[in-house]
Amino acid sequence: MPLTQSREIAAASRLEHVRYAIRDLACVADEVAKQGHKILPLNIGDPLTFDFQTPAHMIEAVHKAMREGKNGYAPSSGVKGALNAIRGEAARKGITTVQDVFITSGVSETVDICLAALLNPGDNLLTPCPDYPLYSAVLAKLGVSLNAYYLNEEDGWQPDLDDLKKKITPRTRGIVLINPNNPTGSVCTKKMLAQIAELARQHNLVIFADEIYDKLIIDDDPHVAIAAIAPDVPVITFGGLSKNYLAPGWRIGWGIASGEASVIKPYLEGINKLLRARLCANHPEQYAIRPALEGPQDHLPEVKRKLRSRRDLTMKWCAETPRVSCVAPRGAFYAYPSIDIPEGDDVFVAELICQKHVMVVHGSGFGQRPGTQHFRIVFLPDEKTLTSAYTAIGDLLRERYR
């Protein structure tokens, strides 16, 4: 008889530091749901879970592509019409030194490929704190140390420039800038963007400009792309269909590489090696990119109207609730309240799921300054649903911390 294998197969040790707090909470929620409770998910930024819909002309473009047989492999960088549309979008954003454009399976893959093509063991990458946990997860997978710079809550969650300067080392290769920011909803000022660009210029760094929410500026202020004000600096600008165009499940993102051609060329060769190695992004969905970027934008005013109303409701609740304060978000659909409690925000969030069946994400899952506690709210639901959720959160705060 053949021997039965009895030794367990261990996962790679570098995965020990891979965390994704936004979805890791689902384990707690699943246990509560098994008891027959309905969970209100304010943890994942998926507009289609609530009263938002993908624009019909984009759906028709994908359907048409499928009917016409666009179901095989695409070119590794993406289909020509979509790439041209992204170049047009770069021009509208004021990016004048575009050296390459490529399409990926969501911005998550853009991040993965761009970091893998740049970083060697021993290097580090400056990432914001708090940050979107994808970045720390990818760095952990690559075996690269996290080098976090603080965002300043006292300054509307702008990057703390002094802290950023102090964190640069001889092995620092780049700066991640999420603008509008997830999880805080902040938007960088033009002055701050220019100062960050100057740091990158002085230290020969690549800027990774995550601008996936650039059309969701709640109060209609203009969004400024850092690549537009620093045409000489190597910048990879991330964009996609998930948020602005309400199609997160299609997994279509892209990168716009800009800067001085001779400086960025070797790095782009590395990116394209990895693009070829993974074959291509989803093919038929790429045919929605041109209609999205060049077609009707009718959905955006209504989306922003809803977000403005729901942001204002959120801020009113924060202002009226003991132990809670919040910097008003200016973009995206997240609020990041501070809570004054005598225990970890992860404990509070777990209790909120178990006792009130509302799911938010603990601030420690995004990183935060020592001694502070936060949680992230996704304020996508309608006002009635949000009011119910906020009542439940307030009840737990009152009951648990009398």
Tell me where in the chain the CATH 3.40.640.10 domain(s) lie: 56-294
Look up residue 128 and give its two tokens.
Answer: 């914001």
Q: In sequence order, what are the residues at sequence separation of 6 or more whose Cβ sits closer than 8 angstroms to the Cβ of residue 385?
A: 40, 50
Residue bearing tokens 């996962």? 11
* CATH number of 13-52+299-400, picked from 3.40.50.2000, 3.40.190.10, 3.30.1360.70, 3.90.1150.10: 3.90.1150.10
Model pLDDT, residue 7: 74
Helix, strand, coil shares of the chain, percent, nearest 5, are 45, 15, 40
User: Who contacts 343 (Cβ-Cβ below 8 Å, separation ≥6)?
Assistant: none
CA separation for the pair 332, 140 (Å, rounded): 26
- What is the distance between the alpha carbons of residues 278 and 222, in angstroms, rounded to a whole number? 36
Residue ranges, CATH 3.90.1150.10, the chain: 13-52+299-400
Q: What does the alpha-carbon distance between residue 176 and residue 260 come to, in Å, rounded to a whole number?
A: 19
The pTM assigned to this predicted structure is 0.94
Q: Which residues contact 15 (CB under 8 A, 6 or more apart)?
A: 140, 141
- In CATH terms, the fold of domain 56-294 is Aspartate Aminotransferase; domain 2 (3.40.640)
Report how far residue 61's alpha carbon sits from residue 167's, in angstroms, rounded to the nearest whole number.
Answer: 46
Q: Residue 21: what pLDDT? A: 62
Instruction: Yes or no: say if 304 and 375 are a contact pair by the CB < 8 Å rule.
Output: no
Asked whether the beta carbons of 328 and 315 are under 8 A apart, the reply is: yes
pLDDT in tens, the chain (402 residues): 566 666 787 877 777 766 656 566 777 777 777 888 888 889 889 999 999 999 999 999 999 999 999 999 999 999 999 999 999 999 999 999 999 999 999 999 999 999 999 999 999 999 999 999 899 999 999 999 889 999 999 999 999 999 999 999 999 999 999 999 999 999 999 999 999 999 999 999 999 999 999 999 999 789 999 999 999 999 999 999 999 999 999 999 999 999 999 999 999 999 999 999 999 999 999 999 999 999 999 999 999 999 999 999 999 999 999 999 999 999 999 999 999 999 999 999 999 999 999 999 999 989 899 999 999 999 999 999 999 999 999 999 999 998
* Residue-level pLDDT at 4: 67
DSSP string, 78-89: --HHHHHHHHHH
d(CA 13, CA 24): 19
